[in-house]
Amino acid sequence: MNIDNLCKNYGKLKALDHICIENIKGVHGLVGENGAGKTTLMRIIATVLDKDDGQIIHGDLSWNDTAKVRRIIGYLPQKFGMYHKLTVREVLEHMAILKEVNRDIRSETDKVISLVNLEDKAEAKVGSLSGGMVRRLGIAQAILGDPEILIVDEPTSGLDPEERMRFRLLLRDIGADRTVLFSTHIIDDAEDICDRVTVLHKGHVMMTGTCDEIIKNAKGKVWEIAAPDPQVGDKLKNIITTDRKKSGKGYIVRALSEDQPCSDAKSVEPSLEEGYLYLIHREEIYA
């Protein structure tokens, strides 16, 4: 899938400004702070929103042909719910019919229920499920009918660590044989799941690449400073503090800086999060 010069405005606000992402395949992450445009982009790809300009292409298929696109996508929105009064199976059987699942509907729903590990809740009402289970139900309905492209908008936010872990594994499994477009503001999730990542910032694409490529961007820009004062980063110019740990009587502070911020700062290997932060704060660091 390729996204070319995609634009979306909300009045005067440019939510997406000429977004270009090429060769989206496997599990592709969209990372960015709140308001970066991730959800807008996901909703456009999911055909919920209209684009103002630009193209989205998947093979020969253009996103201008909404009807065909809808036959090849599965979508889990950021805020997902289902009728509280229906059971998990009722919801999925209904969705299977709507998605024109040609195979035996009962076995198809059983398959996805098993995949998301909701077998013991198949006859339970949606209203009785936990938040994580509802997200898993969301994934189950999204993958019904084996869509070529799965769009998952911040599925792990708000989940407890165990559910998050379970979700990561699930998405990794699902992404093995289809394109999964996955947005998150939790960098660990992206690092754990995604083959490639696009960093969005204020409606612009900062970079698209593998996790290593993003990390590579910040190589030589991450510094570790040992100081008795935890606020040391704030006192130095043109640096962005990325981490701060207590060490003995003092602190170890990690920071992003174009140059060595102080004489006792030593260069260290960047993490994906620091690579991401470097991309979105590059201008501040240069200033």
Partner 1 sequence: MRKKTVGKHIFTDVQLELKLLYRSISFWVLAVIWFVLLTLFIISVPSAWRTGNAFTTSGWVTQAMITGGIFLGIIRSSTERKEYCEEIYYTVYNAALFRYVSKIIVIFIMGIFILISGSITVFLSFFLHDVVGAYYLPSMAYIALYWVIPFAISGIMGLFLGVAATTKAVYPLAFMLSIALGPLVPKLAEPLMLGGGGILSQYYNMFNIGQMDPSSMISESYGYCLNTELWIVRLCILSGAVILFVNRAVVEKRKKILKISLILISLILIASGYIGANCIFKIQYNKCQDAELIAYYRENPEPEFSEVNDDNVYEIEGYDIILDDGLSFEISADIEVNIWNASKPMVFTLFHGFVINECNIDGHECEYETQGDALIIHNKGSYTGDHVLHLTYKGCPPLNLYKASDKWVLPGIFAWIPVEYVGKALEAETMATALFNYPAGKKDTLFKLKYLGKNDVFCSLNRINKNYWEGISSGITICSGWFDEKDEDGISVIYPILYPENVGQAVNLMQNLNSSVPIIYKEMLGETVDVSAKKIFVFPSILQNNLGEGIYILNDHVILCIYMDNGGYLIEEADGVPLLVTILKTDGWDDSDYYFKQIFEYMYLDNLISRGVSKSKQGLSFESIIDYIGNDKKSLAEAAVRAYQFQKSLDTEEQVAFFKRFLNLLNKGISSKESVAALESIIG
**Contacts to partner 1 by CB under 8 A:** 43, 46-50, 67, 70-71, 73, 75, 77, 79-86, 90, 94-95, 97-100, 141, 151
CB 109, min distance to partner 1, A = 13
**How much helix, strand and coil, in percent to the nearest 5, is found in the chain?**
35, 30, 35
CB 60, min distance to partner 1, A = 18
Q: Is the dihedral of CA 49, 53, 54, 57 positive or negative?
A: positive
Q: Which is nearer to partner 1, 178 or 202 (CB)?
A: 178
- Cβ–Cβ under 8 Å, residues 189 and 223: no
Q: Which is nearer to partner 1, 90 or 195 (CB)?
A: 90
CB 83, min distance to partner 1, A = 5
Q: Which is nearer to partner 1, 24 or 225 (CB)?
A: 24
Q: How many Å apart are CA 98 and CA 160, to the nearest integer?
A: 32
Q: Which is nearer to partner 1, 16 or 225 (CB)?
A: 16
Q: Is the dihedral of CA 59, 61, 63, 66 positive or negative?
A: negative
CB 151, min distance to partner 1, A = 8
CB 69, min distance to partner 1, A = 9
Q: Which is nearer to partner 1, 67 or 287 (CB)?
A: 67
What angle (nearest 5°) sits at the alpha carbon of residue 221, between those of residues 216 and 223? 125
What angle (nearest 5°) sits at the alpha carbon of residue 48, between those of residues 44 and 49? 55
